[in-house]
Chains A and B, each alone.
Chain A
Amino acid sequence: MRSDHKFDPVLAADRASRNPGDASGRSRPVLSTENLDAGYGGPLVLHGLTASIPSGETTAIVGANASGKSTLLRALARLLKPARGVVCLDGADIHSQSTRSVAVQLGLLPQSPRAPEGVVVGDLVRRGRYPHQRLFDQWSKADERAVVRALELTGLSDVGDRPIDELSGGQRQRAWIAMALAQDTPMMLLDEPTTFLDIAHQVEMLDLLARLNRSENRTIVMVLHDLNQACRYASHLIALADGRIEAVGHPSEVVTAEMIERVFGLRVSVISCPVSGTPLCVPHTHCY
């Protein structure tokens, strides 16, 4: 398992050998919000939020519980219609575009997805090809290539015939990532991809996403609970508090003890991570 991905020779080789057929060969879509108000019918969760997602980077959305992290991700993924304001994909309102054409630009890993009973890994991953298929289309060579590649990238080639419910939690999560990968979108949105995973599987999952970002040049946007993981893996941080942006930028520039106290109401010391050199927040408690 690679814990330090910053200077990884394998990744460098990956990068050098990437072929033009990859997601990297395509134009990069631009995703942003303007004056976004959103909620679930009751009081608003997001208030006049304006943000943009830098292409080709890994963006982490962080914040306290109920700060609107998942709501922002859901709005970006067009799962939630804004009450006011817009979400723009390539300069046009995402809700004015055909959902299918958006689906070839944006992939999503939903929070705690549930697979239908008895589905095998390969079958789930194949379903990710849906937006690329027309009404009477047969399964194409390109579809098959994308599925094989998605299984390889997630290390699931050997378990393609196994039912999802027989897999470990980590493998199951990777199977859903593989489905989103088969969708072959230049941008992927992930809602808490590490929940329910143990620490080793969390690192494995985040390393996989880092690899996808670096070697395939995919834009990654994820909601993360763990601030230190966000600092380590993201090159762009959006910190939310009460549905508003509290801080935005590169973790090494924006993560300070004051910012963390404003966002989480917690006093911390920010030190440099001995492994990655990224900011590391160590909470203060009353017990010491």
Chain B
Amino acid sequence: MNRTARLCSVAAAGVLGLAIVGLVVGDYPVPARSAIATAVWDRGGEFDFVINSLRFPRVTVAVLAGICLAASGLLFQTLIDNPLVSPDIIGIDTGAAAAAVAILAIGLDARLLPYAAFAGALATAVVIFALSWRRGFSGGRLVLVGIGINALLSAVITYMLVRFPVERVSAAARWQAGTLSGSSWDDARTLAVALVVLLPVAFLLVRRLRIMQLGNDAAIALGMRLEQNRMAVIATGCGLAAIVVAVVGPLGFVALLVPHVARSLAGALTVGVLLLTALLGSVMLLSADLVAQRLFAPTVLPAGVVTAAMGGPYLLAVLRKFNRAV
């Protein structure tokens, strides 16, 4: 078994372990054996509600959303060849949030929110891509335009939050922090459907990304159709990020940080590195959710606050290493 396979096994064990902890731990104590039994083969009974209606869907959503975000981050970082890029930094999440807040602010049905968020994310991606296109694609330009769009949309959100009645927009403010509590099986199903479609595409794109990494000239010489494949990577990465914002809300730093950790553990991009990234995404989100649930229990924090608190220091450490290297 090679190094990446070993790392993946450890990460998979981590996902399983943290998922079980997530089922067991809570305000209402459930013995580990009963928790697993209730979730897997012995539905009904004393713990049915707390396990199968509250904790199991939440844990499942954390696992799936973690996979989506981390995979999305890896696609973007490899495409743009910059470890400090992720969909949330170039404004995809903010685009989704702006659309979601707009829906709530003008008083439309809150059930439209996930669709609006998804549409907002994709529309933002299209705008960023179109504005950064100047006789060809440039990763650096895409990032700069993205950061600009991100700032602009943040301003729009703030404006809406202060301009519209607080009873309408307070729900939006809460959603914007990215919380996993209240996750339902419907949410899990939405994420699962997106993953079934997009994750195999991401795995197929790995071989192409490995070629695109070698630079435009070498990639063209190896028979790579650059523009089509870039579009495919961006569409897949945006889709993965957008579905999470739509279902859970924006969860910062997962897409930025996890691929970086996976690469520094397992080296240059392979299918194995994508698998490891996906698993570590679940690990990070499960841990963040546990901390969010238990740190100030019974008060529950939004998971997005915890991922940001985990990501901030890590990002600073990475930047420090960069500075030393330069």
Q: Taking A113-B214, A113-B215, A115-B214 as contacts, is the C-beta distance between A183 and B222 under 8 angstroms?
A: yes
| A91 close to chain B: CB less than 8 A | no
Contact A128 B222 (CB under 8 A): yes
- Which of chain A's residues have a CB closer than 8 A to the CB of B221? 77, 79, 103, 106-108, 110, 180, 183, 189
Interface size on A, residues (CB 8 A): 37
| A131 close to chain B: CB less than 8 A | yes
* Total A-B Cβ pairs within 8 A: 74
| B27 close to chain A: CB less than 8 A | no
- Which of chain A's residues have a CB closer than 8 A to the CB of B223? 98-104, 130-131
The CA-CA distance from A99 to B207 in the complex, in Å, is: 17
Over the window 240-270 of chain B, the binary record of Cβ atoms lying under 8 Å from chain A Cβ atoms (1 yes, 0 no) is 0000000000000000000000010001111
| A123 close to chain B: CB less than 8 A | yes
| B158 close to chain A: CB less than 8 A | no
The CA-CA distance from A135 to B221 in the complex, in Å, is: 18
Q: Taking A41-B135, A113-B214 as contacts, is the C-beta distance between A131 and B267 under 8 angstroms?
A: no
Over the window 209-236 of chain B, the binary record of Cβ atoms lying under 8 Å from chain A Cβ atoms (1 yes, 0 no) is 0110111111011111100000000000
Q: Taking A104-B223, A127-B222 as contacts, is the C-beta distance between A79 and B217 under 8 angstroms?
A: yes
| B204 close to chain A: CB less than 8 A | yes
Over the window 133-174 of chain B, the binary record of Cβ atoms lying under 8 Å from chain A Cβ atoms (1 yes, 0 no) is 001000000000000000000000000000000000000000
The list of the 8 closest CB pairs from A to B, nearest first, reads A103-B223, A108-B221, A100-B223, A110-B217, A131-B223, A119-B268, A116-B213, A130-B222
18 intermolecular pairs with C-beta atoms under 8 Å apart: A41-B135, A77-B217, A98-B223, A103-B221, A103-B222, A106-B221, A108-B217, A108-B221, A110-B215, A119-B268, A124-B214, A127-B214, A131-B222, A131-B223, A133-B207, A180-B221, A183-B222, A189-B221
Chain A residues in the interface with B (C-beta under 8 A) = 41, 74, 77-79, 98-104, 106-108, 110-111, 113-120, 123-124, 127-128, 130-131, 133, 135, 179-180, 183, 189
